[in-house]
Structure 1
Amino acid sequence: MLSLRRSTLKYLQVRDYLRSLVISELRPGDPVPSERMLCERFAVSRMTVRQAVDALVVEGVLERVQGRGTFVAPPKVDLQVRLASFTEEMTRRGMTAGVKVLASELVRAEPDIAEALKVAPGEQLVHLHRLRYADDEPMAVEHTWLPADRLPGFLEDGTPDSVYVELDSRGLIPDWGEDTIDAGEADHEEAKLLMIKPGKPVLRISRRAFTGDSAIEYSRSAFRSDRYTLWVPVARPHPAVVPRKRTEEPDAAAPGATT
């Protein structure tokens, strides 16, 4: 038991030492001290060092590059759930947003997409397939569908630079929406576009955005989980509304009761 406790303390010392280096001395892309150096410095085994490094890799603080070593990982972007475009979100963080249009076309609504947009299956939709960048690094793969009958000529002059700017110009900017968030694994196409290995974790977000009571946009996005952390503000719920206790009817048999 004592031996296990000492081993845990050593692991924590190595982990905290590496974390302090990342915070105070190293920059993204810098290599961390070698396993051999850490073993000698803390008088621990390679297994203990690897355990400490593994913990920081899982947290996204460090990243391993096969054949090269372990490096300080790029900082994660906090992905806040709000009704804003990708460009707006990246600009808010001081990053330069970019996009590569992979497909821009009119398609017939598949049943699941039709259900999301509350249109009839087979109805014509605008479909955009785009690769999103932040500071020239691929961040997300996105599919977007919009009802074509409400957006005549949407693709006449090519794909708009910003869907939300174009919707705003038509008086159709979304004013509310709903997101569904799931963890998933990158398929081969997503992995190639995002420059990650197939099967790597991604954050999948499905969004429906509404203008008034009508759905104007449905999208499915796969975000690199190694570059995003989900940030959701929370607050205490309002006190539950408790119905007032109804005044009991007077007992007909009670003294003084009226009939």
Structure 2
Amino acid sequence: MMTAGSLVSFLKSGMAEQPHGLRSAVVAQVIRQAVQQGLLAPGDALPAERVLCDVFDVSRTTLRRALDFLEAASVIDRRPGAGNFISPGVMAPKAPLTGFTQDMESRGMVPHSKVLGNRRALVSPDESFHLGLAPGSRVLRLERLRYADQQPVSLEISVLPVEAIPADYDGTTSLYSAMSKTGSHPIKMVQRYGATAATWEQAGHLAVSQGAPLLVIQRLGFSQAGRAVEFTRSLFRGDRFFMSSELDV
């Protein structure tokens, strides 16, 4: 764990290196970098909000927006009356990283995908935070409906820096194979799990009732160079998937 003075110096220098862009997203990204580099550990308390406002030279409103980003990404836990604390990281199991096609084939299913959207556009503030991109950067937003044995099983929205994929990639072939061509194939994945109720549109795609339970898996993929290269949110039918793990006792 860093000393308070060293942490302040790191946060200030990180802010100075990103002079442009949405201040709340930049503040959130700098704090996240401190966590990713091990400078802040799970359970550590962040400095008081007034201290962070002085360190980053931002308003309380801007800081709290940054904390909203971090809380939504499960980087921090906000405890009323106690402060803001670094959350335990949720890492994917130590297993070979595979794509949807390989995963379904390993389960004895026949997979295929339907591209619902494939466009290049400016990064949003939320995407900028997760991927560490400067505002104004361009990203690919790829939305696909995934099938196994002719049945829709998941709705997947992936966001990637445009330089991480070939310019002619249209989403109809393996995403990770395409990323390998640019040297951006992810080698590490950080995942968080949750649940939600299907909206009317999601229910239509997945052939379930509106309000049906969906498993949510949000993942952030990192390349060999340590750069975030994939931000994906997948919604799985709750009646087709469940999570299991093996524990040593």
- TM-score (structure 2 length as normaliser): 0.59
Conservation of the 8 A alpha-carbon contact between 2:120 and 2:138: yes
Q: Which residue of 2 aligns with 1:135?
A: 149
Aligned-partner SS, 1:220: strand
Aligned-partner SS, 1:133: strand
Q: Which residue of 1 aligns with 2:15?
A: none
Q: What amino acid does structure 1 have at the position aligned with 2:130?
A: A
Spell out structure 1 runs of 4+ moving beyond 4 A.
Answer: none
Q: Output the CA distance in 2 between the equivalents of 1:130 and 1:138.
A: 11
Q: Which 5+ residue runs of structure 1 have no aligned equivalent?
A: 1-79, 237-259
Conservation of the 8 A alpha-carbon contact between 2:165 and 2:178: no
Q: Any residues of structure 2 matched to 1:146-185 within 5 Å, and which?
A: 146-155=160-169, 158-185=170-197
Aligned-residue CA RMSD in angstroms? Answer: 1.7
Q: CA deviation at 1:169?
A: 2.9
The correspondence for 1:218, drawn from 221, 228, 231, is 231
The correspondence for 1:228, drawn from 215, 237, 241, is 241
Conservation of the 8 A alpha-carbon contact between 2:221 and 2:231: yes
Aligned-partner SS, 1:229: coil
Q: Output the CA distance in 2 between the equivalents of 1:124 and 1:235.
A: 44
Cα deviation code 1:158-208 (max 9, x no counterpart): 334110111123322211011110011111111000000111000011000
Cα deviation code 1:78-100 (max 9, x no counterpart): xx965321111001111111100
Change (3 A) 1:104 1:139: same
- TM-score (structure 1 length as normaliser): 0.57
Conservation of the 8 A alpha-carbon contact between 2:115 and 2:172: no
Q: Output the CA distance in 1 between the equivalents of 2:177 and 2:248.
A: 31
Q: Which residue of 1 aligns with 2:108?
A: 94
Q: Output the CA distance in 2 between the equivalents of 1:115 and 1:232.
A: 30
Q: Output the CA distance in 1 between the equivalents of 2:247 and 2:183.
A: 31
Q: What amino acid does structure 2 have at the position aligned with 1:173?
A: H
Say if 2:128 is the partner of 1:114.
yes
Q: Which residue of 2 aligns with 1:202?
A: 214
Structure 1 vs Structure 2: percent identity of aligned residues?
Answer: 33
Aligned-partner SS, 1:228: coil
Q: Which has the larger radius of gyration?
A: 1
Q: Output the CA distance in 2 between the equivalents of 1:111 and 1:123.
A: 11
Conservation of the 8 A alpha-carbon contact between 1:181 and 1:206: yes
Cα deviation code 1:51-87 (max 9, x no counterpart): xxxxxxxxxxxxxxxxxxxxxxxxxxxxx96532111
Q: CA deviation at 1:154?
A: 4.2
Q: Output the CA distance in 1 between the equivalents of 2:168 and 2:113.
A: 18
Q: Output the CA distance in 2 between the equivalents of 1:235 and 1:204.
A: 26
Q: Which residue of 2 aligns with 1:54?
A: none
Q: Output the CA distance in 1 between the equivalents of 2:147 and 2:230.
A: 21
Conservation of the 8 A alpha-carbon contact between 1:106 and 1:125: yes
Q: CA deviation at 1:152?
A: 4.6
Cα deviation code 1:119-138 (max 9, x no counterpart): 01231001100000001000
Q: Which 5+ residue runs of structure 2 have no aligned equivalent?
A: 1-91
Conservation of the 8 A alpha-carbon contact between 2:176 and 2:185: yes
Say if 2:139 is the partner of 1:125.
yes
Conservation of the 8 A alpha-carbon contact between 2:190 and 2:220: yes
Conservation of the 8 A alpha-carbon contact between 1:160 and 1:166: no
